Structure 1
Amino acid sequence: MGKIEKIFITHTHGDHIFGLLPLMASLLNGAGGTADGAEDPRAQADQTQTPLEIYGPLGTRAYVRNGLLCTHTLLSSPFVVHELRFPSDPEGDLTSLPLNQMELPAGRNIPQIDGVWPDIYRDTTVSVSAAPILHSVPCVGFVVTEAPIPGKMDPKKYIPDIKRTKTPMTVMSRLQQGETIELSDGTILRGPERRAGRKLVILGDTYDPSPIASLAADPDLLIHEATNAHLPDVDSNTKESDTFETVEERSRSRGHSTPQVAGAFATRIGARRLVLNHFSARYPGDDDTNEESKKVMDAIKALATTTFEGDIVCARDLMSIDIPHS
């Protein structure tokens, strides 16, 4: 937990944001204050500390300020809230509360550019962009793109010239980074071209993520919700009147997707791997050692295979997935 530097919120439904305040309290050494507003002496913002950065749609900043105020929570490390603003959003922060005592005033209201939010965060390792996806409330999906990485290197290609010119072998690390090296006799060695980094697409709740399609193209991994599924041979609660079509229509009317919808979008954007998540509470699925859970998750996965031919994984809490470089 202590390694968390940035938090990205897809939308402000409770099951996606209620956990933010306790997480902040844990990360930023929070403690209970007093009803009369007397401050804990340690709660003095250190502007030299790197703040925890929170990104989310309109309402994220108001939720954080109100929650911290009403719970009398005092923090001892700074944070900042950036909001992704839709064109239809009103001005302001949806709250008249002033900055929290540990909230830095540098929070940005980030406007869309051509319908998306490009590079809301970028460093030398990754960039994060976002785009709207369709749900019952304003919702976004995030695209995390790794910076280009060193190309595959064949040492045999370089060692003879390096040894012949008695050049220190340390130049190999520079060549690995793609640099061009001139040896003492004028020989030019060029490192391998850098390769594209990995790309992850992480969606919030959605019945149609089409607005993010161009930004999300060709990812190594897509995480897509599959809240509802028609499982007549597996789910004893299935209604006799239900069909694949009626379940999909009911799911769509509530802002959600089926495994087939998720698979179709994965195919559309050329994803290499699909992780399904956000399953309805009616489906047991968080214990891969339980036969009933496994049966349900296998059935959900099977539905997704009807629209997507790549690798499919049904997520469970605290699952860790390795994403190799292509």
Structure 2
Amino acid sequence: MSNINITFLGTASAQPSRTRNHSALALRLNGDVWLFDCGEGTQHQIQKSSVKMGRVSKVFITHTHGDHIFGLLPLLASRLNGAGGMVDESSDPRASGVLDSEVTILQPLEIYGPSGTRAYVRTGLLYTHTLLSSSYVVHELWSPNDQPDPLLASLPRPTAELPGRDIQRIDGTWPEIHKDATFSVSAAPILHSVPCVGYVITEAAIPGKIDPKQYIPHLKRTGTPMSAMRQLQQGESVVLSDGTILQGPPKRTGRKLVVLGDTYDPSPITELAMHADVLIHEATNAHLPGIDPETKPNDTYPIVEERSKSRGHSTPQMAGLFAARVNARKLVLNHFSSRYAGDYDPATQHGDQRPAAKETMEAIRALAQSHFSGPVICARDFMTFDVQYSHGVQ
């Protein structure tokens, strides 16, 4: 069975704070690392964590606001052995077509994001004269009204950039933008102040739990090789020499993880997100009278919600309602205003919980819990946990 681990590298919204960095999440799938968003300072956060930079194979960008993408170019330069080129790159041997065959040998680092992601990466590499020693590819998720970017057509393609896909939406979603034998990724638009995407990572069905006592006696009785147990473990049937048919246990549903970008309404992803084992939902603003010293005298829960929506964001209650709507197993709140400190104090380096921060986050958690009966967790930088099977798989 696969190991799925989530590590939060940054949990702040808009501006970083002393205890929260810009948005970034590392998903470790066995040996690979997939990043979801890459805010400023992400490579520093990786260095401070147990996540391995060299394992990063995919980056999924939810939207192109700076607090979610400003760390992408530095990460590419580090991950792909970048170096400064010459002003006249035509005379730099590293920028010549000779390197094309070399950079395509290794599996390229894949980047997924909304329209504009490719131009952002290409422009940043061009104007910083950054030459990469390994290849990358950008796949863009296109909406019906998206048009080819005229700026992109005028930019020279970096030697390290391989052709990517322009993935069109089908019936409102981008189904299976990536799929391998173990995991698939689908996406859907969610409503924010700019085009934004939510991602759904789904594990393939896993073999059911097998009881050898139900099968081995029959295999021995008919002289069937024990290797037939491998077929049965995969849920297949085995016909014995006496005509008996042994049927392996049915496969069980794999795990589902939903990572939402910034949003005031994630309704378009509802169907894809149903029965998520873990739902990661932003909770940028909260009304915390008596706890948050910056609470305005005339604020109420409805006023704070409307203010949050007007800026494209959610409150903890909105996150809780959506978690209940999709019947999620666990809700993780993320993307907090910089005035809500994480409960990790970097001055101690021991993960101490400061009383004021702990009280604030507990109050935010309770607001979400008022609308969602499942477990609720408030994310903090460097928090890490494994995604468990909701149906008791051992």
Task: Give the TM bin, normalised by the shorter chain.
Answer: over 0.9
| 1:102 aligns with one of 160, 171, 183 | 160
Structure 2 gap segments, 5+ residues each: 1-52, 345-350
Give the letter aligned to residue 310 of structure 1.
G
Superposed CA offset, 1:110-159 (max 9, x none): 11111111111111111111111000000010111111110121122112
Q: Distance in 2 between matches of 1:227 and 1:93?
A: 35
Give the letter aligned to residue 63 of structure 2.
H
Name the counterpart of 1:198: 255
With 89-98 and 202-211 compared, the bigger mean Cα shift is at 89-98
Name the counterpart of 1:8: 60
Give the letter aligned to residue 212 of structure 2.
P
Name the counterpart of 1:317: 381
> Displacement of 1:286 after TM fit?
4.6
Structure 1 gap segments, 5+ residues each: none
The answer on whether the counterparts of 1:33 and 1:40 sit within 8 Å (CA) in structure 2 is no
Name the counterpart of 1:303: 367
> Displacement of 1:200 after TM fit?
1.0
Q: Does 1:238 align with 2:295?
A: yes
Q: Distance in 2 between matches of 1:316 and 1:298?
A: 12
With 7-16 and 209-218 compared, the bigger mean Cα shift is at 209-218
The answer on whether the counterparts of 1:133 and 1:206 sit within 8 Å (CA) in structure 2 is yes
With 316-325 and 271-280 compared, the bigger mean Cα shift is at 316-325
> Displacement of 1:233 after TM fit?
2.1
More relative contact order, 1 or 2 (CA 8 Å, 6+ apart): 2
Name the counterpart of 1:27: 79
| 1:122 aligns with one of 179, 191, 199 | 179
Q: Answer 1 or 2: which has greater helix percent.
A: 2
> Displacement of 1:94 after TM fit?
4.1
The answer on whether the counterparts of 1:42 and 1:76 sit within 8 Å (CA) in structure 2 is no
The answer on whether the counterparts of 2:342 and 2:381 sit within 8 Å (CA) in structure 1 is no
Cα distance, 1:175–1:244 mapped onto 2, change above 3 Å: same
TM-score, L = length of structure 1: 0.95
Q: Distance in 1 between matches of 2:255 and 2:150?
A: 35
Give the letter aligned to residue 287 of structure 2.
H
> Displacement of 1:184 after TM fit?
3.4
With 262-271 and 176-185 compared, the bigger mean Cα shift is at 176-185
TM-score, L = length of structure 2: 0.79
Equivalences for 1:273-292 in 2 at 5 Å? 273-287=330-344, 289=352, 290-292=354-356
The answer on whether the counterparts of 1:285 and 1:296 sit within 8 Å (CA) in structure 2 is no
Give the letter aligned to residue 64 of structure 2.
T
Q: Distance in 2 between matches of 1:58 and 1:33?
A: 27
> Displacement of 1:42 after TM fit?
8.6
With 137-146 and 167-176 compared, the bigger mean Cα shift is at 167-176
Cα distance, 1:319–1:258 mapped onto 2, change above 3 Å: same
Give the letter aligned to residue 327 of structure 2.
G
Q: Does 1:188 align with 2:252?
A: no
The answer on whether the counterparts of 1:132 and 1:211 sit within 8 Å (CA) in structure 2 is yes
Q: Does 1:64 align with 2:140?
A: no
